Amino acid sequence: MRLNSDQVQAIKQAAQQVLGDDARVTLFGSRTNDALRGGDIDLMFETPHQLVDRVAAAGQLYVKLIRHLGDRKIDVLLKDAATDEAPVMRVARETGVLL
């Protein structure tokens, strides 16, 4: 996994602040492969709760991530209790690394 411990902590902290203590975060995509270089940071955030405004929550997560990780390409998927699971979410869960 090509994230350092400070980056992992910042990501988990953002998830807890926006989604609550029971939020889960999965890193997926090229950053899970130590043999590769570069690439964006692909993250899937999950909460068992139904969010009032999923778009606003995704925006809050993104802003917190940019503030803590710097201005870089970050892709955010957000699944709450009311979100149907898209194929990309299933792949992220099956191939990703739970942070």
CATH code for the domain of 27:
3.30.460.10
How sure is the predictor about 55, in pLDDT bands with cuts at 50, 70 and 90?
A: very high
pTM for the full model?
0.91
Q: How does the average pLDDT of the chain come out, rounded?
A: 93
Q: Helix, strand, coil % (nearest 5) of the chain?
A: 45, 20, 35
Q: What is the mean pLDDT of residues 71-96?
A: 93
Which residues constitute the domain of residue 24? 5-98
The confidence score (pLDDT) of residue 23 equals 97
In the chain, the largest separation of any two C-alpha atoms, in whole Å, equals 40
pLDDT tens digits for range 3-17: 899 999 999 999 999
- How many structural domains comprise the chain? 1
With cut-offs at 50, 70 and 90, classify the pLDDT of residue 52. very high
